[in-house]
Amino acid sequence: GVAAKIAPSMLSSDFANLASEAERMLKCGADWLHMDIMDGHFVPNLTLGAPVIQSLRKHTKAYLDCHLMVTNPLDYVEPMGKAGASGFTFHVEVSKDNWQELVQRIKSKGMTPGVALKPGTPIEEVYPLIEGENHVEMVLVMTVEPGFGGQKFMPEMMEKVRTLRQRYPSLDIEVDGGLGPSTIDVAASAGANCIVAGSSVFGAPEPATVISLLRISVEE
C-alpha cells in the first residue's frame, strides 16, 4: 500500500505556543504538520498565513502540509514558498481556470502540489489535475465543510476516496475533518493514507496513543 502519513492539524493547537506544540506533535509520532491557511473569504474563518509559516520554519525541519482555504491561491505561492512550506494544497473550486499555472509555480518554488475538494464537489473534477502533464501529487478529500475544527466526519465522502483509490493505486489521498479513533477504520479501508486529525489528537490525554492508533489502521 501507500505509506501512512499522520498529520495533526495545528488549527487545534495553542497558536500562542506554536513551536512547542509542533515539537510536541513530532515527539508523539506525527509525520507531517497540517497547517490550515484561511482567508476569511473562501471560508468564514481567518487563521494564519505565510508570516507564521516562516516563523514556525525557524523552529522545525518537519514537513509542513499546507492546506490553502483561500480564494486566490496563486497569490500565496511565492510567499508560502519563501516561508518554507513543504506541501501546497489548493482548492479545485477556485482554480478551474488556472490550475496548470498554479501547479507549475508551486513546483518551481520547491513545494509539493496537492488539490482539495469540498464535500459538495464531485470527485470527477480533480481527475484532470491528477492526469495532466503538470499534475498534483496528492488529493485532499474534505470530510467536513472547510473552515473549522471539531466538526462531525461525513462518512458519505468515502465513496470519493474509494473511487480515487481504485483509479490511482499509488496516489497520496488525504482525508481532513472529523478523523479520530472512531472514524479512522472507514477512512483507511476506503483507501485514505494521509490522515489529518485536529481535535481528536489535541483533545486526547495522550496524543501519541491516538497517532499510533491512526497509523496502525492505515497500515493494516
User: What whole-number distance in Å separates Cα of residue 1 and Cα of residue 218?
Assistant: 9
Name which of residues 38 to 67 contact ligand DX5 (CB under 6 A): 67
Q: Which of 102, 156, 105, 56 is nearest to 115 (CA)?
A: 102
- Total binding residues for ligand DX5 by CB under 6 A? 22
Q: Which of 151, 114, 138 is nearest to 9 (CA)?
A: 151
Q: 18-27 and 207-219 are packed helices; what angle lies between their axes, rounded to 10 degrees? A: 50
Task: State which of residues 4, 5, 6, 12 lies at the interface with ligand DX5 (CB under 6 A).
Answer: 12
- Active-site annotation holds for 65: no
Which residue in 31, 36, 65, 172 is the catalytic one?
36
Task: State which of residues 21, 31, 172, 176 lies at the interface with Zn ion (CB under 5 A).
Answer: 176
Question: Quick one: CA dihedral 186, 1, 207, 43, positive or negative?
Answer: negative
For 57, the 3-state DSSP assignment is helix
Name which of residues 107 to 146 contact ligand DX5 (CB under 6 A): 144, 146
Q: Residue type at 171? A: L
Name which of residues 153 to 172 contact ligand DX5 (CB under 6 A): none
Q: Is 14 annotated as a binding residue?
A: no
Interaction of residue 39 with Zn ion, rule CB under 5 A: no
Q: Is 180 annotated as a binding residue?
A: no
Q: Which of 18, 76, 31, 24 is nearest to 196 (CA)?
A: 31
Task: State which of residues 121, 134, 199, 209 lies at the interface with ligand DX5 (CB under 6 A).
Answer: 199
State the binding site for a divalent metal cation.
34, 36, 67, 176
Residues involved in catalysis: 36, 176
Query: What residues line the site for ligand DX5 (CB under 6 A)?
Result: 9, 11-12, 34, 36, 67, 144, 146-151, 176-179, 196-200
